[in-house]
Structure 1
Amino acid sequence: MNILVVTAHPLKNSLCGLFSETITSSLSNMGHEVRSENLYVNRFDPVLSIDERMTYYKESYDASKVSEEMERLVNSDALVLIFPTWWFGFPAILKGWFDRVWAPTVAYDHADDYGPIKPKLNNLKKAFVVTTLGAPWWVDHIILRRPIKRTLRFALLGACARKCKLKFLSFYKCESVDSARKYKQIRKIESELTKFFGNNATYAAHEESNVIIQEDKV
């Protein structure tokens, strides 16, 4: 598979940075083609431009400033997102990536009557998400009902990549993590990656026989 790995954390030595290295290495060792995109390292501008907003509902949408990011997205079979959860939302730089890259004519088309949008990211078959939180699990699950997972599943993938299967991993109370716990987290990620993606030869065989395993379909 062609897999796009997007990381959104300002610190290279963060837990997200460690997870990003682990995931990129593991997927490459499985035989997948991996493209890594670190939004902070690339100095991605999350601010939607005036021209982008002015042409949002026009056929000639101005995507000139994010054309490379869009090309990487539409040429990927799978997407991996690695980011911290801040205030139970996406980091601003990742939210801006969705705003600017998951744009009209690329991620979806507008309906003629401004009704439900028409999905265009049919290339995305799988999405693997890893996020870290400082809060305990019960605040995310019980009080706030997992807002980021619901946004990804129903608003983003549900609108733009309806056939995409989602795997979502959350790691809680991550403001202080000792070596033993980091090891367990990495092993968990590696195990879930293997189950979710398998190796590239297995994926190619499924593609050739037109068999796609249906798991957590959005």
Structure 2
Amino acid sequence: MRVLLVFAHPLQKSFTASVALTAREALEASGHVVDLLDLYAENFDPRLSNTERGGYFDVPYDTSAVAGIVDRLKAADGLVLVFPQWWFNFPAILKGFFDRVFAPGVAFTHDVAGGRIVPQLINIRFLYALTTTGSPWWLVHFYMGNPVRRLLKRGIANFCSRKLVFRMMSLHDMDRATEARRKAHLERIRKALAAV
């Protein structure tokens, strides 16, 4: 399979970068082709332009400003997102990736009767989110309601694809994680992606 691995962290020596490298190695060792999309390294502009927003209901919608990335998404069988959670949310650059690339005619189409959207990413068979957060597990799940998981699974995955396998793997309390805990998390990721 061809996997689009989207990496969203500004630091190349971060633990999140280690997660991306581990994911890539595990996928490639299993024979998958990995297309690494490093949003920072590729200088991705997360801002939805006036033209993009103004033409949101145009048919066809103009994705020419992000055509190269759209082509990479359409060529993929799987999607792996690697990012930290900041303020219980996506980094701005990843949110911009969704806003600009998961566009009408790419990730979904508008139902002509209005109201609903129709999934279009039928090529994507699985979506894995590999993430870290500085908050402890109980705070993310019980106090905040795990907003990133809800947005990815109930929103993006369910609205943009059908019969998609979704999995989210998080290292909580990242800032206090021991080296042993970090290594164990990387091994967990390696095993999960080796089984894809």
Q: TM-score range by the shorter chain?
A: over 0.9
Whole-Å separation in 2 of the counterparts to 1:50 and 1:129: 30
SS in 1 for 2:187: helix
TM-score normalised per structure 1? 0.87
Matching residue's letter, 2:186? I
Identity %: 39
Whole-Å separation in 2 of the counterparts to 1:153 and 1:183: 27
Whole-Å separation in 2 of the counterparts to 1:90 and 1:161: 20
C-alpha displacement of 1:178: 3.4
C-alpha displacement of 1:129: 1.0
Query: Is 2:81 aligned against 1:84?
Result: no
Matching residue's letter, 2:34? V
CA RMSD of aligned residues (A): 1.0
Alignment of 1:97-176 (within 5 A): 97-176=97-176
Whole-Å separation in 2 of the counterparts to 1:171 and 1:33: 26
Residue 42 of structure 1: aligned partner: 42
C-alpha displacement of 1:163: 1.4
Residue 68 of structure 2: aligned partner: 68
Of 106-115 and 148-157, the range deviating more from structure 2? 106-115
Deviation per residue, 1:99-118 (Å, 9 max, x gap): 00000011111111321101
Matching residue's letter, 1:165? V
C-alpha displacement of 1:186: 1.0
Whole-Å separation in 1 of the counterparts to 2:26 and 2:194: 9
Q: Which has the higher contact order (CA 8 A, sep 6+)?
A: 2
Matching residue's letter, 1:145? G
Of 96-105 and 175-184, the range deviating more from structure 2? 175-184
Alignment of 1:184-203 (within 5 A): 184-195=184-195, 197=196
